[in-house]
């Protein structure tokens, strides 16, 4: 089974109906099952916001205990809660009490600075005692940020500390890394983040690998273009100023194809959505470029 979470939103901003927050939470029927993720550190506000997420029709509500961003951490939210087990416990209690029908999950890092996984184990046990349904663990600490590699052995220690499902996360970029995460950590599910940027085919690749099936064919150029054009259409429909984001997003889809450097340059100079569409339409990997092709 597959499901996705939206990017985190501030519980407090959601309760104030901040227009930008509400716009981040738009979804399409085909996105389901889809969860919303809340960040914050006030148990009462987190409880109210979780009830609101449920009322908005989301299928899950997730609590962020992993965000490393200074603006979030300095206010006591995200990964700072790994150091504040009492506050975390209050949040779990209020949220589980406020939500009636949908699962409550928690996304965390291994710890704030201790890479052993002890902080995550403690928080995971508290979450389980409070009635949280599942947890996801990114195998790095807040201090590590995105450096080094995710520690799947430490995720195993968290997995062994609880009986609720544990979803492993960190550095999954293909079938082999997903299989290694599952084997080393014993996790019940695999979460993919950066590996899916410009590569939504990663999900079918991972599913095949975990089922022991041969890898599906890499997407053809026509398939890539079709998905990029759909991405452009949705981004344009749901974002007020999509040009800036699209400059980055479109190039992700063609990473590693020969000739992409020149294409990237043209996309960055494009001044309209129409121009971007036509650049995508006419893009041809150039046979004599030195960049190797990979799936």
Ligand X SMILES: Cc1cc2nc3c(=O)[nH]c(=O)nc-3n(C[C@H](O)[C@H](O)[C@H](O)COP(=O)(O)O)c2cc1C
Q: By the criterion CB under 6 A, which residues form the site for ligand X?
A: 7-8, 37, 64, 66, 107, 138, 169-172, 192-195
Minimum CB–partner distance for residue 238 and ligand X (Å): 17
Minimum CB–partner distance for residue 170 and ligand X (Å): 5
Q: How many CB atoms lie within 10 A of CB 206?
A: 26
Q: Which of 41, 67, 130, 187 is catalytic?
A: 67
**Is residue 194 helix, strand or coil?**
helix
Contact 182, 172 (CB under 8 A): no
Minimum CB–partner distance for residue 239 and ligand X (Å): 16
Strand order in the sheet with 60-65: 4-10, 34-39, 60-65, 104-111, 134-141, 166-169, 189-191
* Residue 37 vs 128, nearer CB to ligand X: 37
* Residue 14 vs 192, nearer CB to ligand X: 192
Q: What CA–CA distance (Å, rounded) separates 94 from 107? A: 17
Phi-psi region at 8: left, alpha or beta (left = phi > 0; alpha = psi -120 to 50):
beta
* Residue 193 vs 221, nearer CB to ligand X: 193
Minimum CB–partner distance for residue 284 and ligand X (Å): 30
| Active-site residue, 130 included | no
The alpha-helical segments, DSSP class H, found in 43-108 are: 43-55, 70-73, 85-98
* Residue 76 vs 285, nearer CB to ligand X: 76
Contact 279, 270 (CB under 8 A): yes
Q: Which residues pair with 10 in a beta bridge?
A: 39
Active site residues: 67
């Amino acid at each position: 089974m597959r499901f996705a979470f939206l990017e985190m939103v501030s519980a407090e901003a959601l309760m104030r109906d901040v227009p930008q927050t509400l716009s981040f939470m738009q979804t399409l029927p085909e996105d389901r099952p889809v969860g919303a993720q809340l960040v914050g550190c006030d148990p009462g506000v987190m409880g109210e916001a979780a009830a609101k997420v449920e009322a908005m029709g989301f299928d899950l509500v997730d609590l962020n205990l992993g965000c490393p961003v200074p603006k979030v951490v300095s206010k006591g939210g995200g990964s700072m809660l790994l150091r504040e087990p009492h506050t975390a416990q209050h949040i779990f209690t209020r949220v589980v009490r406020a939500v009636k029908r949908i699962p409550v999950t928690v996304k965390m890092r291994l710890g704030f600075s201790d890479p052993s996984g002890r902080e995550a184990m403690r928080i995971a046990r508290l979450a389980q005692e409070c009635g949280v349904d599942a947890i996801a663990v990114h195998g790095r600490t807040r201090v590590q940020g995105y450096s080094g590699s995710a520690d799947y052995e430490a995720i195993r220690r968290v997995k062994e500390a609880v009986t609720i499902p544990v979803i492993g996360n960190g550095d999954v970029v293909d079938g082999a890394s997903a299989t290694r995460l599952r084997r080393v950590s014993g996790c019940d599910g695999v979460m993919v983040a950066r590996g899916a940027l410009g590569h939504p085919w990663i999900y079918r690749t991972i599913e095949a690998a975990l089922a022991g099936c041969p890898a599906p064919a890499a997407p053809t150029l026509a398939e890539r273009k079709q998905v990029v054009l759909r991405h452009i259409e949705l981004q344009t429909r749901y974002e007020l100023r999509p040009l800036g984001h699209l400059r980055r997003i479109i190039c992700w889809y063609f990473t590693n194809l020969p000739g992409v450097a020149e294409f990237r340059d043209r996309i960055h100079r494009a001044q309209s959505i129409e121009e971007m569409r036509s650049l995508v339409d006419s893009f041809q990997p150039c046979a004599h470029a030195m960049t190797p092709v990979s799936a």
